[in-house]
Amino acid sequence: MHPAYSVIFFTTASGAGYGLLILAAIFAVGGLLPATSLLGFVVVGLALGLIGGGLLSSTFHLGRPERAINAFSQWRTSWLSREGVLAVATFLPAGLFGIGWVFLGKTTGFFGWMGVAAALLAGATVIATSMIYASLSTIRQWNLATVPVAYLGLGLMSGAVLLAVVTRLFGVHTPAVDVVAIASIVIAWGVKLAYWTTIDRLQPTSDLGTATGLGRFGAVRLLEQPHTEANFLMHEMGFVVARRHARRLRSLAHVALFALPLMLTVAALWAPAVTAAVMAVGAVGSLAVGLLVERWLFFAEARHDCMIWYGR
Amino acid sequence: MTSLPATRPEKRLGLAIDLDTCVGCHACATNCKEWNTGGISGPLTDVNAYAAEQHGVWFNRVFTYEVGGEGEAGRTVHFPKNCLHCENPACVTVCPTGASYKRSEDGIVLVDHDKCIGCKLCSWACPYGAREYDEVQGVMKKCTLCVDKIYNQNLPEEDRVPACVAACPSKARHFGDFADPNSTVSKLTAERGGYDPMPEKGYRPTSKYLPPRPGRRGAAPAATAATASLEGAGRFLKWVDRILTR
Amino acid sequence: MSKEPTPDLSPVVHDEVKYTTCYMCACRCGIKVHLKDGMIRYIEGNKNHPINKGVICGKGSSGIMQHYAPSRLRKPLKRVGKRGEGEFVEIEWEEALGLATEWLGAIRASDPKKLAFFTGRDQSQSLTGWWATQFGTPNFAAHGGFCSVNMAAAGLYTIGGSFWEFGEPDWERAKYLILFGVAEDHDSNPIKTGLGKMKGRGAKVVSVNPIRTGYSAIADEWLGIRPGTDGLFVMALIHELLHADKIDLDYLIRYTNAPWLVIDAPGTAEHGLFARDAAGDPLCFDQTTGRLVSAKLPEVAPAVVGSFELPDGRQAVPSFQRIAERYMDAAFAPEAVAASCGIPADTIRRIAAELAEVAFEQTIELDVEWTDWAGRTHSKMIGRPVAMHAMRGISAHTNGFHTCRAIHLLQVLLGSVECPGGFRFKPPFPKPIPPGQKPAGKTSAPNTPLAGLPLGFTTGPEDLIVDDEGRPIRIDKAYSWEAPIASHGLMHMVITNAWKGDPYPIDVLFMYMANMSWNSTMNTKGVMDMLTDVDPKTGEYRIPKIIYSDAYASEMVSYADLILPDTTYLERWDCISLLDRPICEADGPADAIRHPIVEPDRDVRAFQTVLLDLGARLKLPGMTNPDGTAKFPGGYPDYIVNHERTPGIGPLAGWRGENGETFGRGAVNPNQLDAYIAHESFWHHELAPDQKFYKFANKSYLDFAVKMGFIGHADQIVIQLYSEPMQKFRLAAEGHGAIQPPDHLRANLKAAFDPLPVWYVPHEEASVDTKTYPLHALTQRPMIMYHSWGSQNAWLRQILGRNKLYVATSKARDLGLDDGDWVRVTSHNGSIKVQIKTMEGLNPDTVWTWNAIGKRSGSWNLAPDAPEAKKGFLLNHLISELLPPRSDGRRLSNSDPITGQAAWFDLRVRIEKVAAGAEITEPQFPTLPRVVGLDPAPAINDYGAHFAPDHDPKRTRA
Ligand SMILES: Nc1nc2c(c(=O)[nH]1)N[C@H]1C(S)=C(S)[C@@H](COP(=O)(O)OP(=O)(O)OC[C@H]3O[C@@H](n4cnc5c(=O)[nH]c(N)nc54)[C@H](O)[C@@H]3O)O[C@H]1N2
Ligand SMILES: Nc1nc2c(c(=O)[nH]1)N[C@H]1C(S)=C(S)[C@@H](COP(=O)(O)OP(=O)(O)OC[C@H]3O[C@@H](n4cnc5c(=O)[nH]c(N)nc54)[C@H](O)[C@@H]3O)O[C@H]1N2
Ligand code: SF4
Ligand code: SF4
Ligand code: SF4
Ligand code: SF4
Ligand code: SF4
Ligand SMILES: [Mo]
C-alpha cells in the first residue's frame, strides 16, 4: 500500500495524543499527577494538539475535505465513520477534563469522571482507527488481531514516553510513569515482533489462479496489464518495498522505536534530573523517528489483493 | 446508506463474461468510458492525457494472462474486469459517508458522488480493484452497470443494456438478472460452470465468469486411416477411371 | 439511517441522433452518433448495418477522442524552415491551392510523369486513381503494395476474389476454420463476431500463427509456425489429402481448370500453356467420347490425369496431373516439412485428416434450388464446411503470393470456396480471373489523360509498363520485370527511387494519408535522409516538392513543403463505393456514405473536395466543363452524386434513377445523398437465396452481377489453379518471346513464376547469414490502435502507450534474458535498443512487437517525453526497402518478386542484452516542434463533464 504521509502522520500523531490523553487521565485522576494548571495545560494541550493535528492531517488525504462532515453518518457499519464519531466524542469529555484541570485545578469528581470517559473514548478511538485497517480482508498484513493491539500499544507507549518527558521537565516525575513507559515499550515491542513474525509467515490466501479462476488449467502469469502506464490502483495499492530495504527499516524501527527509548527510559531512572530530562527528550525524538518508520512500513509492507491481478 | 439491503434484492443484475470468446479487444473498456464520461458518473477524468504517465478513470479494464506453461500446451486468456456488484461488498460497508450503497431493488453497487469525501477506503476494501478514484474531482467512481442506460426511458428498449455489452464484438458479455433462473446469464452460468473469481474472499460476486472451453487439439478422426492405407498406392491410378461430368 | 439515493436513471442522452460510417479503421462499420449541445455525446454501433450489426470495437468507441484530438491540423501550412525541421507558416487556402496548381500545372504541361501521387489508408482510390488518370501520370498507387497485394493478387489470379476484406468465411455455417497469419485485419468486427459465433456453436477454430494473442488465443488449436513457412505446411496438407484421395473431384471438374490440358513440350515457347482450340478455348479430354473438346462445354466428362496427344502431335496433360505430381512428391510429406515449419508431422497429418473429415463426412446441404451457368438446375447446395482466412502473416513475405495461392489450392481441392460453410466472396467478387482491366501508363503525354487507370492486371509480358529496353516506366517500378504483377503498385519504393532518380527524377511527390517518414516506410532513418537530401549541383532537394494531406500532426507533416489539412471522419462527406473497396458482405452488395455530423471548427477542407478543386483549377478533363468551369462546384458530395464512371454507374449504387427507384445501374438521382441519410447512411441489397453460393458458376448471380456492372458477361468464372499468366512470364524468363527481361533478373523470374504454388526460402533469410541473424522479427496490429493514429487518442494511448519486444520464454532463458531487460536488436539494416517481455505462447525463433506504437518525439502534439517516444519503438528502423547486395552488387527491392508486395515480415535479427542506461529506446530523432497553430495539449481531459446538469467547471480543469 502506498504510504501516504498525511496518513502516517495522522495515525502516529493522533495515536500518541490518545495514548497521552489516556495516561494523563489515569495518572491525574489517580492522583499521580499534581492538578496544576500549567501542567494540565501542557499535558492535555499536547494530547489534544497531537490528536487535532493528526485529524487535520488526515483530511489532507481526502479528495473532498470540505465534505468531511459526511463521514460521521455511517457508524453502523464503517470503522472510519466510527473513528470519526469517537474522535469527536472524545473531545467533549477531554475538553471538560482539561478545563477542570487547567482552569479549576480539579481532576477528580465530575472532572475525574470526564477524564475516565476521555480515556475510554480515546482508547476506543485508537481501536477504531486500527480496525479501519484490521477489518480489511483484502490486505492480509492488516487483517490481523495484532493490528489493533499494536496500535493501542504503540499509542500508549508513545503517550507514556511523552508523559515521562513532560513530568521530568516539570519536575513532577514519578517512577510510575517510567514503569508504565517501560512496560508499554516492552509490550509494544513484543506485539510488533509478533506482528512482523506473523506477516513474514503469512501464506497468501489468493493467487492468480484463484483470482482468475484459471488455476484449473495450470500456472497463471500476467502477460499484459490493462494499461501500459500505472493507474490509480497501482499508485495506491501497488507500492512495493524491496525486501532488503524493508529489513533495514525494520532494524531501524527496532532501534529507534523500541531499543533506544527503552534504554533511555531505563537509564533515566538512575540519571540526575537534568540528564534524565535530556534522556527523556532523546527517547521521544528517537520514538518519533521510529514510529514514522514503523508506520511507513505498516503501509509499505501491506499487499493488497487487487494487485494479484497485476501479477504482483 | 452503507448498510446493505436488509433482504436479498429481488433482482440481482450483473454480467456473465465469457472467457472462451473474449479476444481482448478492449471495446468494452473504451465504450464503457465513452458512455460513462458523459453520463451520471462523468467525467471519467484523464490525467496527463497527452503527456507521460497518462492515466485516468476506467470502469472496465482488460488483462491478458498466460496459463498452463510454455508453447502449445498453454493458452492465452483475456480477462476483462469491472465491478462484480458483490452480494457481500465490504466496499459499501466501509464507506463512512453513505456515498457507497447497494441498491435494494437490483443489487447494483453505486457511489453517490455528491456525498463522497474521497477517502478511498472503499477501494481498499475491494479485492477486485474495481473502484476508480477520480483524482481531479476528488471522488470515487465505479462501474454503475450503466444504471443510467439500462433504465433510461429516453432510449429505445433494445438499447437499454450496458455499454460494454452492446459493444462487445465477440459477444463475450451477457447482461441480465441472476435471480431469475431463466435469464440468459443464469442459464449460461449453469451450463458453462460460471464461477466467482477469488471466491475465498467471500464477497459473493453477482457477476460470473464463464471459463474457457478446453482446447480441442483432438485425436485424429477416422480419415487418417485412409491416409495411411493409401500412402504409396499407385500414384494417380485412383483418378484414371473416375468419370465425372462437368 | 438515511434513505437510498435516487440518481437520475433517465438523463437525456441526446438532442439529435445521426447515422454515419466509422473511420477509426478501414472496417467501416455503421455508427449511430448521439449529439448533445452540438457535441458528440456517444457513438455506438448501428444495429441495422450489414458489417457490424450493432457492435463496435475499441477504436470505434474512442472516436470522440480522435475527433477532438489536440493534434488536429488547423490551417494550410507552408514550410519555412529546412525540410524535416517542422517549421511552417499558416497560409490561406487560396494561396495553398494556387501554389499546388502552379507546381502541378507546370508538370502537367511538360511531363506528367514528374508527379508521383500516392495515397495511404484512404478509401477514395476510385477518385484518386481517376484523378491521376485525368492528370496523365502513371505514377499513382495506394497503400496496397506495401499492405497486402499478395493476398489480392493471389486471389484474383486464382479464384476471382480474395481474402483481405473481399471475402469471408461462412460464419453462420462453417464447422472448421483455419486462420493463417491474422491478427486483426480489415474485417475487424465481422471476424470477432464470427469467431464468437463459431465458438458458440462448437465449431473448431485453428490459428496458424507464430504468436498466440487475440484470435489465436481463443482458437481451439494454435499452431506456432515458424514465419515464412506456411507454404510448406499447406503443401504438406495438400500432399496428405491427395494421397488419401480426400479431394472434391466433382468440384474440380465443374469449377476449376483442373481438367484443362497443359502443353507438355519442354523447351518450346508454348510449354506449359493451355492447349486451345481454334476459338481460343482451352481443351480437355472427354472420357465419354475419347475426344479433345472445349473445356468450357457443360456436358463433358473430362479426364484429370493422363497424357493426351494434341492434333499437332504434341502431348498435353490435365493441369490436375501437374498438381498431383508436384504435391504428392515426398518433398511435401509432413516429415519433410515438419522441422522447417516447427510443426510436428503428426499434427500436420491430423489437421489434414480433420479437414477431410469435416469437408467430406460433415457435409451440409441447403435445400435451395439453383441454376448453374449452363442452365442446369440443382436441387441442393452442397457445403463442405471448412473455411479459411489468411492475411498479412502470409502476404508480407517474399514468398507470400505463392503461399496464398497454395491456401487457395487447398480450399479448392476441398471444394470449399463459395459453398455453404466455406469461404465466400463478397460481391462485386468474383471477377474474371484475373480481372480484365490492364494497367495504363506505358505512354504519357503533356496535358493528356492516361489511356486508362494506372493500376490493373497483367497477364503476360506484353502488359508490362516497361520501355523498349525493358526498363521500368513507373517511378515505383510496378509492372516492370521487378514486379510484373504489381497490381497495387509499390508505394514503399517511391521515395527511394525518386531520390535515386531511378528510373528518373520526379518533381512533385503528392501524398495523402500516409505517414511515409515513419511507420509506413521501411528504413525510416534512410527515408528521412532521402526526403531532406539536397542535390549539391542544383542546391534543390532531390525530391523537389512535397505536397501532403493529413488531418493530424503526424511525423510526415514535417517532411512536406505544403500541407493541405483534412477534416475528421465526422466532419466530411465520404463514399464507400463499389468502385473502390466496398463494405459488401457475402450475402449481398452494400455501400455507404459519411456525411458531416459536426461542422469543422478549423480552417480545414475535405481532401476529396480539395482534389476536385485542384482538378478544376488544372482543367483536368473529367473535372472541368467545356466552358472551363468546374464540373463539381459542390465538391465531393456533388461528385458522389453526379459522377458516372460508365453510363448509369456512379460512386453509389443505391437509390439511383431520377427518383431513386432503382439500384446498381441507373440515372443520376439528385437526391441520392438524402436517401442515404434517410437510410442510416448505407445501402445494402440482400441476394436471393439461390444467388448466395457458387457465385462463379451461378446463372442467377452472374446475370445479376452483369446488371450491376460488376462483370462484363455472365460466363462461368473458372478457378485457375494452374496459372497461365505465371507461365507466360516464366517462358519469357526462359528466353521465349519478343519482350525479354534483363538478364540479371532471369533466374529470379524463373524461380518465382511457377504456374503452380511453390515454396522458397524468403529472400532476406536467403541473403543474410542466419547464424548472425537467427531470429524472425514481426509486428502485429493491436486491436485498439489504428497504425499511427491511435496514439493521439487520450483513451487509447492509456491502453498501449509503449511497446516491448516479446521474446519466447524458452529463448529468453537460452539467452540469459529476463522480463524488463534491455536488448540491442540488430538486422542487416541497423540496430535498435528496446526493452523485452517474455511470453509463453510464441514460436521460439520469433520475436515481435506491436506495430506503430513508437512515435517520434514531439509529433502528434504529445509531450516530447511521452512514453510512445521514449519507451516505444518501431521495427521499421530495422527493415530495409532493399535486400542486402547480391553477388553482382545489385540490391533488389525487399518485395515479393511477383507482386512487389513489401516483405515486412521477412526481417531477420539478433538480440543481445545491453545495459539499461537511461532506459530510453534507440534510435531517438530530434524532437519535432509543435505544429504552428496548434494549442498545447491539455493536461487534464475531462470530456463529458459539460453534459452533467450540475457541471462545476472549477472542479474539472486543473
Ligand atoms: N513494421 C511494420 N510496418 C508496417 C506494417 C507492418 O505490419 N509492420 N504494415 C504496413 C501496412 S499494411 C500499412 S497499410 C501501413 C499503414 O501506414 P500508414 O498508411 O502510414 O497509416 P497510418 O499511420 O494509419 O496513417 C497515415 C496518416 O494518415 C493520417 N490520417 C488519419 N486520418 C486522416 C484523415 O481523415 N485525412 C487525412 N488526410 N489524413 C488522415 C494520419 O494522421 C497519418 O499521418 O503501415 C505499413 N507499415
Ligand atoms: N486495430 C487495427 N486494425 C487494423 C489495422 C490496424 O492498424 N489496427 N490495420 C489494417 C491494415 S492496413 C491491415 S493491412 C490489416 C492487416 O491485418 P492482419 O493481417 O491481421 O495484420 P497484422 O497485425 O500485420 O497480422 C499479421 C499476423 O500474421 C502473423 N504472422 C507473421 N508472419 C507469419 C507467418 O509467416 N505465418 C503465419 N501463419 N503468421 C504470420 C503475425 O503474428 C500476426 O498475427 O489490418 C487492418 N486492421
Ligand atoms: S467488485 Fe469491488 S467495488 Fe464492486 S461490489 Fe465487489 S467489492 Fe464492491
Ligand atoms: S471514497 Fe467515497 S465512496 Fe469510497 S469510502 Fe470514501 S466516501 Fe465512501
Ligand atoms: S456495465 Fe457499464 S459501467 Fe459497468 S463496465 Fe460495463 S459499460 Fe462500464
Ligand atoms: S469487448 Fe468483448 S471481446 Fe473485447 S475485450 Fe471486452 S469482453 Fe473481450
Ligand atoms: S472496426 Fe473499424 S470501422 Fe468498425 S467500429 Fe472499429 S474502428 Fe470503426
Ligand atoms: Mo495495410
Find the mean pLDDT for residues C88-115.
Answer: 98
Determine the pLDDT at residue B1.
61
Q: Rounded to the nearest 5 degrees, what angle is found at the Cα of C234, between the Cα atoms of C230 and C238?
A: 165
Determine the pLDDT at residue B229.
40
Determine the pLDDT at residue B236.
79
Determine the pLDDT at residue B214.
82
Average pLDDT, chain A: 95
Q: What tens digit of pLDDT does each residue of C356-408 get?
A: 999 999 999 999 999 999 999 999 999 999 999 999 999 999 999 999 999 99
Q: What tens digit of pLDDT does each residue of C13-28 get?
A: 999 999 999 999 999 9
Tell me: pLDDT of C553 over 70: yes
Looking at the CA of residue B97, tell me the nearest atom of ligand 4: 7
Q: With pLDDT > 70 as the criterion, what percentage of chain C qualifies?
A: 99
Q: Measuring from each residue's beta carbon to the nearest atom of ligand 3, which residues come in under 6 Å?
A: B 83-86, 89, 91, 109, 126, 128, 130-131, 142, 203
Determine the pLDDT at residue C957.
40
Which ligand is located closest to the Cα atom of residue B22? 6
Find the mean pLDDT for residues A41-49.
Answer: 96
Residues of B in contact with A129 (CB under 8 A): none
At position A306, the amino acid (one-letter code) is C
Higher local confidence (pLDDT), B58 or A171: B58
* Cβ C935 vs Cβ B116: under 8 Å: no
Tell me: pLDDT of B67 over 80: yes
Cα maximum dimension of chain A = 74
Determine the distance separating the centroid of ligand 1 and the alpha carbon of C554, expressed in angstroms: 10
Q: What tens digit of pLDDT does each residue of C143-165 get?
A: 988 999 999 999 999 999 999 88
Tell me: pLDDT of B218 over 90: no
Tell me: pLDDT of C955 over 60: no
Instruction: Judge: C13–B171 Cβ closer than 8 Å, yes or no.
Output: no
Find the mean pLDDT for residues C198-210.
Answer: 96
Residues of A in contact with B79 (CB under 8 A): 212, 309
Nearest CA to ligand 7 atom 4: C29
Tell me: pLDDT of B222 over 60: no
Find the mean pLDDT for residues C856-865.
Answer: 98
The residues near A8 (Cβ < 8 Å, ≥ 6 apart) are A292, A295, A296, A299
Determine the distance separating the centroid of ligand 3 and the alpha carbon of B91, expressed in angstroms: 6
Determine the pLDDT at residue B220.
54
For ligand 8, an ion, list residues with CB under 5 A.
Answer: C 147
Interface membership of C840 toward A (CB under 8 Å):
yes
Determine the pLDDT at residue C953.
56
Q: Which chains neighbour C (Cβ–Cβ under 8 Å, 3 or more pairs)? A: A, B
Inter-chain CB pairs, A–B, below 8 Å? 201
Q: Which B positions 165-184 lie with beta carbon below 8 A of chain A?
A: none
Domain ranges of chain A: 5-204+228-310
Closest CB to A62 among B2, B119, B123 = B119
Instruction: Judge: B96–A216 Cβ closer than 8 Å, yes or no.
Output: no
Determine the pLDDT at residue C601.
96
Higher local confidence (pLDDT), B221 or C789: C789
B13 phi/psi in degrees, rounded to 5: -80, 145
Residue B232: how many other CB atoms lie within 10 Å: 8
CA atoms within 13 A on the CB side of C620: 25
Residues of B in contact with C328 (CB under 8 A): 235
For the structural domain made of A5-204+228-310, what CATH number should be given? 1.20.1630.10
Instruction: Judge: C217–B24 Cβ closer than 8 Å, yes or no.
Output: yes
Find the mean pLDDT for residues C863-882.
Answer: 98
Instruction: Judge: C1–A229 Cβ closer than 8 Å, yes or no.
Output: no
ipTM computed for the complex: 0.96
Q: What tens digit of pLDDT does each residue of A91-147 get?
A: 999 999 999 999 999 999 999 999 999 999 999 999 999 999 999 999 999 999 999
Find the mean pLDDT for residues C855-879.
Answer: 98
Determine the distance separating the centroid of ligand 3 and the alpha carbon of B132, expressed in angstroms: 11
Looking at the CA of residue B36, tell me the nearest atom of ligand 5: 3
Inter-chain CB pairs, B–C, below 8 Å? 344
Question: Per CATH, which fold does B13-215 belong to?
Answer: Alpha-Beta Plaits (3.30.70)
Instruction: Judge: B58–A84 Cβ closer than 8 Å, yes or no.
Output: no
At position C460, the amino acid (one-letter code) is G
Beta strands (DSSP E) in C620-746 are: 682-684
Q: What tens digit of pLDDT does each residue of C618-633 get?
A: 999 999 999 999 999 9
Nearest CA to ligand 4 atom 6: B119
C808 phi/psi in degrees, rounded to 5: -60, 140
Q: Which C positions 338-397 lie with beta carbon below 8 A of chain B?
A: 349-350, 352-354, 356-357, 360-361
Alpha carbon of C262: minimum distance to chain B alpha carbons (Å):
17
Interface membership of C58 toward A (CB under 8 Å):
no
Chain B residue with minimum CA distance to C289: B243
Testing the interface with B: which of A309, A310, A312 to mutate, by most B Cβ within 10 A?
A: A309
Which ligand is located closest to the Cα atom of residue B103? 3
Find the mean pLDDT for residues C97-116.
Answer: 98
Q: What tens digit of pLDDT does each residue of C903-921 get?
A: 999 999 999 999 999 999 9
Strands C140-141 and C377-378: unpaired
* Cβ B5 vs Cβ B119: under 8 Å: no
Q: Is the CB of C211 under 6 A from ligand 2?
A: yes
Determine the pLDDT at residue C117.
98
Q: How confident is the model at residue B227 (pLDDT cuts 50, 70, 90)?
A: very low
Burial class from Cβ neighbours inside 10 Å (0-12, 13-18, 19+) for residue B65 reads buried
Determine the pLDDT at residue B228.
41
Tell me: pLDDT of C442 over 80: yes
Q: Measuring from each residue's beta carbon to the nearest atom of ligand 6, which residues come in under 6 Å?
A: B 22-28, 62, 78, 80, 167-168, 170, 172-173
Domain ranges of chain B: 13-215, 217-246
Q: How confident is the model at residue B221 (pLDDT cuts 50, 70, 90)?
A: low
Which ligand is located closest to the Cα atom of residue C901? 1
Find the mean pLDDT for residues C514-539.
Answer: 96
Q: Which C positions 217-256 lie with beta carbon below 8 A of chain B?
A: 217-218, 220-224, 240, 243-246, 249-250, 253-254
pTM for the model stands at 0.97
Tell me: pLDDT of C736 over 80: yes
Looking at the CA of residue B84, tell me the nearest atom of ligand 3: 1
Closest CB to C798 among B56, B103, B235 = B56
Find the mean pLDDT for residues C824-852.
Answer: 98
Query: Starting from the edge strand earliest in sequence, which strands make up the sheet with C940-941, in order?
Result: B55-56, B46-47, C940-941
User: Rounded CA gap, C897 and C678, in Å?
Assistant: 48
Q: Is the CB of B118 under 6 A from ligand 4?
A: yes
Find the mean pLDDT for residues C415-433.
Answer: 97
Residue A174: how many other CB atoms lie within 10 Å: 14
Average pLDDT, chain C: 96
Q: Is C333 left (phi over 0), alpha (psi -120 to 50) or beta?
A: beta
Interface membership of C800 toward A (CB under 8 Å):
yes
Interface membership of C809 toward B (CB under 8 Å):
yes
Looking at the CA of residue B149, tell me the nearest atom of ligand 5: 2
Q: What tens digit of pLDDT does each residue of C650-706 get?
A: 999 999 999 999 999 999 999 999 999 999 999 999 999 999 999 999 999 999 999
Adjacent-strand bridge partners of C624: C630
DSSP output for chain B: --SPPSS--S--EEEEEETTT-----HHHHHHHHHHHTSTT----EESTTSSS-EE--SEEEEEEEESSSGGG-EEEEEEEE----SS-HHHHT-SSS-EEE-TTT--EEE-TTT-----HHHHH-TT--EEEETTTTEEEE--TTHHHHT-TTS-GGG-S-HHHHH-TT--EEEEETTSTTSHHHHHHHHHT-B-SSGGG----SSEEEPPPPP------THHHHHHHHTTS-TTHHHHT-----
Closest CB to B167 among C3, C45, C200 = C45
Find the mean pLDDT for residues A257-276.
Answer: 94
Nearest to C140 by CA among C450, C438, C557, C528: C450
